[in-house]
Amino acid sequence: MLAETNIELENLVRQDLSNLDSWLVYADWLQKRGDPRGELISLEVGLEKKYHNGIEKIEIEKRIDEIVSIYKEQWVHPDLLSEARKKNIDIGFRYGWITFLKVRYSDVLISPDSDSDSSLEWVDQLKMLSTLDLSFIGLTELPDWFDELTQLNDLFLSTNCLTELPVAIRNFRQLQFLSVNNNQISRLPDWLTELPKLKEIDVSDNPIKKIPGSIKAKFLLAK
């Protein structure tokens, strides 16, 4: 499981998951405490900043694979690992955190005991999640833990049974892409234009009669 935490630094990273300098500050704090995630973050950021090439890059990639293979089962909650092995979810891993999650069955979203410590740990490990895909699982509403994912960059809710946009999305200030096509949404809220980083939305195949002018102008939508 995750070792010592620093809420202040984690929140700094969550404010902008694409800010590599924030990740490096966090990595430095982790390395000083002997947490292997610190080395992993430093190595992965180095590759993204293109500090390395050739043979050196290959060696660093090998070291990254080694760290992940050793520690992944300690960094990911057993319930999530179990669901991944059963192909109920897909997990993407970066910087020692889960950064991508695709859920294939809606039952996976419901904990047998929502008040259990296990459930709280499960949700806590999604705090660096950047992409969430809950498409094609027949959702009529979203789970309570969804409200906590304010750091999301990309959100896919396509082909469900939603009748309105979840109000929690209003607080997703880092959101850049939103797909809610093929639901039962009849109107779009004006607050969509308040999301500073939202660049693209897909609302096709919904019974929307009229799109507010402000939304249509910002996202170049038809209707």
What is the model's pTM? 0.90
| CA dihedral sign, ordered 25, 96, 92, 79 | negative
Res. 28 pLDDT band, cuts 50 70 90: very high
Res. 169 pLDDT band, cuts 50 70 90: very high
Q: How confident is the model at residue 122, as a pLDDT?
A: 82
CATH 3.80.10.10 given to domain 76-223: yes
Q: How confident is the model at residue 9, as a pLDDT?
A: 95
- Alpha-carbon distance values, 223 to 35, 45, 212 (Å): 52, 43, 9
Res. 112 pLDDT band, cuts 50 70 90: very low
Res. 220 pLDDT band, cuts 50 70 90: confident
**Residue 43: pLDDT over 60:** yes
Q: How confident is the model at residue 110, as a pLDDT?
A: 64
**Region label for 111, one of left (φ > 0), alpha (ψ between -120 and 50) or beta (otherwise):** beta
Residue 91: helix, strand or coil by DSSP?
strand
Q: What percent of the chain has pLDDT over 70?
A: 92
Q: How confident is the model at residue 1, as a pLDDT?
A: 46
**Residue 118: pLDDT over 60:** no
Mean of per-residue pLDDT scores for the chain: 90
- The CATH 3.80.10.10 portion of the chain extends over 76-223
Q: Average pLDDT of 22-33?
A: 96
Q: Average pLDDT of 197-217?
A: 92
Res. 144 pLDDT band, cuts 50 70 90: confident
Q: How confident is the model at residue 212, as a pLDDT?
A: 87
Q: Which residue matches tokens 């000083």?
A: 32
